[in-house]
Amino acid sequence: MLLNDISDLIERLKKRGARRVVLQFPEGLKRRSAEMVAALKEAGFEVVVSGDPCYGACDLALENLGSSDVLVHFGHAPVDEQPKVIFEPWAVAFDVTVLENALPFLRGTTLGLVTTVQHVGLIPAMITFLQSRGITCTVGEGSRRTPFPGQVLGCSFAAARASGADEILFVGTGLFHPTGIAIATRARVIALDPLSGTAQEVRGDILMRRRFAVIEKARGARTVGIIVSTKSGQKREKLAERLVRLSDNAVIVTMREVTPDELLNLGFACYVNTACPRLAYDDQVRFPVPVLSPQEYEILCGTRTWDEYAIDEIV
Amino acid sequence: MLLNDISDLIERLKKRGARRVVLQFPEGLKRRSAEMVAALKEAGFEVVVSGDPCYGACDLALENLGSSDVLVHFGHAPVDEQPKVIFEPWAVAFDVTVLENALPFLRGTTLGLVTTVQHVGLIPAMITFLQSRGITCTVGEGSRRTPFPGQVLGCSFAAARASGADEILFVGTGLFHPTGIAIATRARVIALDPLSGTAQEVRGDILMRRRFAVIEKARGARTVGIIVSTKSGQKREKLAERLVRLSDNAVIVTMREVTPDELLNLGFACYVNTACPRLAYDDQVRFPVPVLSPQEYEILCGTRTWDEYAIDEIV
């Protein structure tokens, strides 16, 4: 499978007249870099590897393009237009009959179907399988950041919303995406991990209760750092400028990687995260102080009510 | 003391007509950022804080200058010219009579005197004190990266070399600088920690024995990552290009922060560090595989002999 990928990639690189190429891999694929380097050197390219952490197409190693012709970004679909970047998918296949495991959890016979980028190629097969079980799927168009129909990101649930369904099946790993979908759509959400075969209903209220507690913990914070990412697809400066004006105690803090160590070193009493939305929700247990989403900070400052709680998405 | 610092800084910022200012602190001073932000906001500036890890003037948050007028970098002297950066020293005072503790370790009566940037202001007082004890000091000019006479960095021992002395007194914290000085100059080196008062002779051969073992461990590595930093003052691309040509197994890997996690994720059998020289020497115990200095890699590849072993410096 790898060699197929590479022959196609070599074709695209040659078409562009690339001579020197930077490769960027997400954390789960970094181990494959040495074999990919060897194959591309064999094909006549000069190769450089980006060694920084990478969790999405929002985090492109563009600083390498000064000394290279093309950046090949593996494993993610583009979240924005980038002329000198090739996005090289890394599909992960599974047997679609595993969807059988989700059937006992469904209430209706029409379903919104969403998944992550590595499985979008299987959406037609998933639809056919579900149809054979009497279930009709709707697959919504995504946003600018999710180019494939039915594709969701941890920061964009537009395809779930666009499905218009009351019941949504998320096929993918982990509970963050389906939890976000549940809060964003207020639909009933079933999550199926296609690799382990585990299916379950996922509700948003557990996360929301936890977040309510974090907001309360942030009350009275004398110093607030409004985090702005320096990563290409996470830099929400306008949002941060608006939030920093909500309190005299707030200041903008720029960061590349938002880590517990750096938040501790800086010593602010509370942070607001405008970088990757998952950070605030997923990593709170690792952080030394409350890290709020933009919407949660608005609730803290009284410019949004709790009933208007919304999950943070990058649009 | 802080308020003195700030009134001077405000003066310099106003002279430049700065309106929006980014503050960057080394790890040990980050905790002071909130109070500095408050004081500069009080003085009428818009303020942003750089929250990324920072270990030297080689690591300037220049990416922030797109949206701000000036970067104020605290705690370090400049290692290169930067028109939009103000370097704001952060002197750490001590009672120079603590040098008494070093006297029992000295053999001669002439001495090369070196220290780190936070103590360079005390060099005249240290000279006077040592003179009163019958010891004559020479203070060498530094390199382009160490603008103060007698100043050394972990990556530049030029001032120690320029002292021309057979016996050198290093006044500062930790054993890395004096070890580097011992290897770089082959002089006898005494280290005095002015805060704890501890004095000791520091030899280079212990580090060199350890490094010999690391080189041997790297023999036979099938994949070699030549690390190039993306930080402003650590980016040694030409050196890396030369090193990568020494072996077909080698590839350039760009990194901002060189961390054990990322080296493990990438999965190379050996790395060569052209970023901050201290990383290879100081952090080997934390790294999963051998991380060689450029000179050590040349020894491994047979283009340098062990007798020509040299400590890595950035010139």
- Tens-place pLDDT, residues A110-152: 999 999 999 999 999 999 999 999 999 999 999 999 999 999 9
Q: What is the CATH number of the domain that holds A52?
A: 3.40.50.11840
Kindly state whether B65 is in contact with chain A, defined as any CB-CB distance less than 8 angstroms.
Answer: no
The residue whose two tokens read 């003037």 is: B57
User: Global pTM?
Assistant: 0.91
**Res B146: pLDDT:** 96
**Which pair of structure tokens corresponds to residue A22?**
């930077």
Kindly state whether A255 is in contact with chain B, defined as any CB-CB distance less than 8 angstroms.
Answer: yes
Does residue A118 lie in a domain region? yes
- Asked whether the predicted pLDDT for residue A55 surpasses 70, the reply is yes
Residues of chain B neighbouring A230 (CB-CB closer than 8 A): 52, 63-64
Q: Which of the four pLDDT bands, split at 50, 70 and 90, describes residue B11?
A: very high
Tell which residue, B53, B306, B98, has the closest CA to residue A254: B53
Same domain, A37 and A109: no
Q: Which of the four pLDDT bands, split at 50, 70 and 90, describes residue B6?
A: confident
Residues of chain B neighbouring A67 (CB-CB closer than 8 A): 237
Same domain, B106 and B74: no
CB within 8 Å: A49 and B257 = no
Interior CA angle at B257 toward B252 and B263, to 5°? 60
CB within 8 Å: B251 and A63 = no
Does residue A315 lie in a domain region? no
Q: Which of A88, A111, A133 is the last residue of a domain?
A: A88
Query: Mean pLDDT, chain B, as a whole number?
Result: 95
Q: What is the CATH number of the domain that holds A123?
A: 3.40.50.11850
Does residue B315 lie in a domain region? no
Residue B262 near residue A50 (C-beta atoms within 8 A): no
Q: Which of B88, B123, B154 is the last residue of a domain?
A: B88
The residue whose two tokens read 């949004």 is: A304
Q: What is the CATH number of the domain that holds A243?
A: 3.40.50.11860
**Res A178: pLDDT:** 98
Instruction: Tell me the CA distances in angstroms from B218 to A92, B130, B298, one per residue in order.
Output: 35, 45, 12
Kindly state whether A42 is in contact with chain B, defined as any CB-CB distance less than 8 angstroms.
Answer: no
Q: Which of the four pLDDT bands, split at 50, 70 and 90, describes residue B232?
A: confident
**Res B315: pLDDT:** 86
Q: Which of B88, B110, B141 is the last residue of a domain?
A: B88
**Model ipTM value:** 0.89
Does residue B313 lie in a domain region? no
**Res A89: pLDDT:** 84
**Res B248: pLDDT:** 93
**Res B2: pLDDT:** 46
Does residue B220 lie in a domain region? yes
Mutation target among A41, A49, A64, A241 for the B interface, most CBs of B within 10 A: A49
- Asked whether the predicted pLDDT for residue A3 surpasses 50, the reply is no
Give me the number of domains chain A comprises.
Answer: 3
Identify the residue with better confidence: B1 or B82.
B82
Residues of chain B neighbouring A272 (CB-CB closer than 8 A): none
**Which pair of structure tokens corresponds to residue B156?**
């530049």
Mutation target among A21, A222, A237, A251 for the B interface, most CBs of B within 10 A: A251
Task: List, for residues A148-173, the tens digit of each pLDDT value.
Answer: 999 999 999 999 999 999 999 999 99
**Res A81: pLDDT:** 85
Average pLDDT over residues A293-309: 97
Which domain, by its residues, includes B126? 96-203
Residues of chain B neighbouring A237 (CB-CB closer than 8 A): 67
B132-161 residues touching A, CB cutoff 8 A? none
Task: List, for residues B91-107, the tens digit of each pLDDT value.
Answer: 999 999 999 999 999 99
Residues of chain B neighbouring A22 (CB-CB closer than 8 A): 254
Which string of DSSP letters, residue by residue, matches chain B? Answer: -HHHHHHHHHHHHHHTT-SEEEEE--GGGGGGHHHHHHHHHHTT-EEEEE-S---STTS--GGGGGT-SEEEEES---SS--TTEEEE-------GGGGGGGGGG--SSEEEEEE-GGGGGGHHHHHHHHHHTT-EEE-----TT--STTB-BTTB-HHHHHT--SEEEEESSSSHHHHHHHHHH-SEEEEE-TTT--EEEE-SHHHHHHHHHHHHHHTT-S-EEEEEE-STTT--HHHHHHHHTT-TTEEEEEESS--HHHHHHHT-SEEEE-S-THHHHHSGGGSSS-EE-HHHHHHHHTSS-GGG-------
Same domain, B233 and B177: no
